[in-house]
Chains A and B, each alone.
Chain A
Amino acid sequence: MSERVAVRKTYKLFIGGKFPRSESGRSYLVQDSNVSLASRKDARDAVVAARAAVQGWAGATAYNRGQILYRVAEMLEGRREQFVALGVPGDEVDAATDRWVWYAGWSDKLPQVYGGANPVAGPYFNLSAPEPTGVVAVVAPEAPALLGLVSVIAPAIVTGNTVVVAASPAAPLAAVTLAEVLATSDLPGGVVNILTGRLAETVPTLAAHMDVNAIDLTGVTDPELAADLEGRAAENLKRVLRPAAHDWSADPGLGRMTWLLETKTVWHPKGL
């Protein structure tokens, strides 16, 4: 009996809930696999998908979003070995799973912690509540491949934003595999979109894109590139998160959620 021939996986992009190849037809060899080399057009397509998903995702109840994020944790737990096989340490998969659970619980709590009634000096009802800013471009950190990725995606989407993620060029397999987790977690298509390939190709397009509301530069290691991207982002006054050193195992705090929130304050007179 000859040994069974394994079925290999094709690693593709994740856009609008589907797994297309790059429209450019290109791929690059990394981690012993051919991975899609996303083009500027792929980046723009991903923004279109992310924008289309905003209304439904931001409009979903916080309870519903929380359940879906928890479902992601369930799916990730079940695929632990798959990530280990890609070289992600088991501890890191566990930490990433726990992070989904942690953020899942915030969906229906953050508006109470971060908003509330304001005691204005007059006969007015006055309430401030946070809302998602919209479409967020995220440059994922190079490492840790899975925990870093989860730590930048979960806080963005839990409040109702949608994201276009530029995965780590050197270690994209964890990102594409996470996309498979997301695709089986009842997360609506387009809420998370993942691009693999060269940052220099996709990220400037995302930074300058007029339909992107915010950009997270966490994974940008070159200060000059970060400054250039921040300058591009000024064109439509994107909210910008600059690169900074991180301890991904530490308590994340609220910062990664709150920078992507807009506070809306509603006034109404009181009277008969």
Chain B
Amino acid sequence: MFEYAPAPESRSVVDIKPSYGLFVDGTFVDPADGGSFKSINPASEEVLSEIAEGGAQDVDRAVRAARKAYDKVWGPMPGRDRAKYLYRIARIVQERSRELAVLETLDNGKPIKESRDVDLPLVAAHFFYYAGWADKLGHAGFGPAPKPLGVAAQVIPWNFPLLMLAWKIAPALAAGNTVVLKPAETTPLTALLFAEICQQADLPAGVVNIVTGAGDTGRALVEHPGVDKVAFTGSTEVGRAIARAVAGSRKKLTLELGGKAANIVFDDAPVDQAVEGIVNGIFFNQGHVCCAGSRLLVQESVAETVLESLKRRMAQLRVGDPLDKNTDVGAINSAAQLARIKELSDAGAAEGAQRWSPPCELPERGFWFAPTIFTGVTQAHRIAREEIFGPVLSVLTFRTPAEAVEKANNTPYGLSAGIWTEKGSRILWTADRLRAGVVWANTFNKFDPTSPFGGYKESGYGREGGRHGLEAYLNV
């Protein structure tokens, strides 16, 4: 590997306060019972800030603020004015994108080149896209005058903190709802900076409320009788619990849950491109991606060639300081997630799969896991069935296209899939048969605000993005 001099992005661009309150009704307030937790930098374990822990009373206060804003301000406001607030937010995100990218990388551990080149541009684009819908809802195919739902409770994960916030807040506000959003407990900082952006945009008080906390805070929010809509992105296990919690209520529910995507490489695929796609599919964002291509299905006749090339490529991945602009793979988001990745990887080895990682020096402090592949994996292995949510790839082989499809679909999940082949008719044949909400052919992990995203089966229901994404926030 080439020796690269360190090229760290400066962190002086962002000003992190020693502590943050909850963002309720347009201002930062202390939680009712004064509880707090720490948000740390997973690459160094350094404490970044002390974060307020919202309890049931705080959730109630936020929901009331959102209701008041919905009834008095945001609901009655013409769509063209809602649009202008969303355009303002999009612009401020663009203007402050470097600050937000550095903060995201500090709090999450993802490489700066990803937060800078993927997360932030998509966040701004998402607000810009949905801003334009706010005054065109009657043309979206849901009838001449579709109505918003009211107050939306939104709970988001730690893997793309600000991007998931954008996916939730932008369509909700465009459709005329107000929101109470709970960011993940390990990555609350960009959401709190976003609250400041709402202030800077003069967004009316109570339209966006941010209540930080862990699982109990999320539960209180989802179960609050004053919310009309629940949107959750996270694990299938928690998604199930939320579906049970809202059963029998009037709350509309959308869920974007786990995945175990197959990335299918046919024997005629261009190997170099496919290998780039495999690497992007599983090592992008340390594999903390619900749509990650975590099961490589490679046609038997080319398996050896593809694996050789893949290992060569993996040996070039730079693992380390997320703020370094050359870093490809950053830190695992938390000690708990690292433990889960280790547990499942150990199970893979114990069940008889062969483990391989490139030689790779990991920093001493922080949470790290070397890019890893398992070969000789069978469909019965836990690493082929359970979502690892880390930089771990399970390699399986197939002989016929029908076998590839059968193996790809042999999972309760159905979020995404990849296809690599030069033959157009084979792409379409395969895409037709895959039970997955997003199919990337000769590419992987591409996202766009105009493109609906969401799963089949136990990967959840509803779509985010595009015209389809409005449906989750309209009374239709």
Q: Show the binding face of A for B, using Cβ within 8 Å.
A: 113-114, 118-122, 124, 126, 128, 133, 213, 223-224, 226-228, 230-231, 233-237, 239, 253, 255, 262-269
Contacts and interface: CB of A to CB of B under 8 A. Distances in A.
B258 to A, nearest CB: 11
Given A133-B456, A268-B427, A124 B450 contact: no
A114 B471 CA distance: 12
A116 to B, nearest CB: 8
A268 B458 contact: no
Given A118-B466, A234-B240, A263 B452 contact: yes
Contact of B244 (A120, A234, A263, A268): A234
B363 interface: no
A223 B468 CA distance: 30
A267 B441 contact: yes
Contact of B448 (A126, A236, A263, A269): A126
Contact of A263 (B125, B427, B454): B454
28 contacts: A114-B141, A118-B450, A118-B452, A120-B450, A122-B448, A126-B451, A128-B466, A133-B456, A226-B248, A227-B248, A228-B247, A228-B248, A231-B248, A233-B243, A235-B240, A237-B239, A253-B143, A263-B463, A264-B434, A264-B437, A265-B437, A265-B452, A266-B439, A266-B441, A267-B438, A267-B446, A268-B443, A269-B443
Contacts of B255: 237
B411 to A, nearest CB: 12
Nearest to B459: A237
Contact of A237 (B240, B431, B436, B441): B240
Best-surrounded residue of A121, A226, A233, A237 (most CB of chain B within 10 A): A237
Interface of B: 125, 141, 143, 236, 239-241, 243-244, 247-248, 255, 257, 412, 414, 427, 431, 434, 436-443, 446, 448, 450-454, 456-458, 460-461, 463, 466, 468, 476
A156 B236 CA distance: 26
A237 B456 CA distance: 10
A197 B456 CA distance: 32
A126 B427 CA distance: 13
B442 A269 contact: yes
B248 A124 contact: no
Contact of B243 (A226, A237, A253, A262): A237
Most buried by B among A113, A228, A262: A262
A-B complex: 9 closest residue pairs judged by Cβ atoms: A227-B248, A234-B243, A230-B247, A120-B448, A231-B247, A118-B450, A268-B441, A234-B244, A266-B439
A239 B252 CA distance: 12
Contacts of A120: 446, 448, 450-451
B248 A237 contact: no
Given A119-B450, A128-B451, A263-B437, A255 B456 contact: no
A interface majority secondary structure: mixed
Nearest to B240: A234
A230 B244 CA distance: 7
B457 A237 contact: yes
B410 to A, nearest CB: 14
Contacts of A236: 412, 457-458
A262 B456 contact: yes
Contacts of B463: 263
Contact of B248 (A128, A133, A223, A255): A223
A239 B412 contact: no
Contacts of A235: 240
A266 B433 CA distance: 12
A122 B448 CA distance: 9
A215 to B, nearest CB: 12
B450 A267 contact: no
Contacts of B141: 113-114
Contacts of B236: 237
A104 to B, nearest CB: 21
A231 B460 CA distance: 15
B147 to A, nearest CB: 14
Contacts of A253: 143
Nearest to B122: A121
B257 A265 contact: no
A239 B461 contact: yes
A224 B247 CA distance: 10
B450 A263 contact: no
Given A118-B451, A265-B439, 5 more contacts: A118-B466, A227-B248, A266-B439, A267-B438, A267-B443
A237 B448 contact: no
Contacts of B451: 118, 120, 126, 128, 265, 267
Contacts of B239: 237
Contacts of B437: 262-265
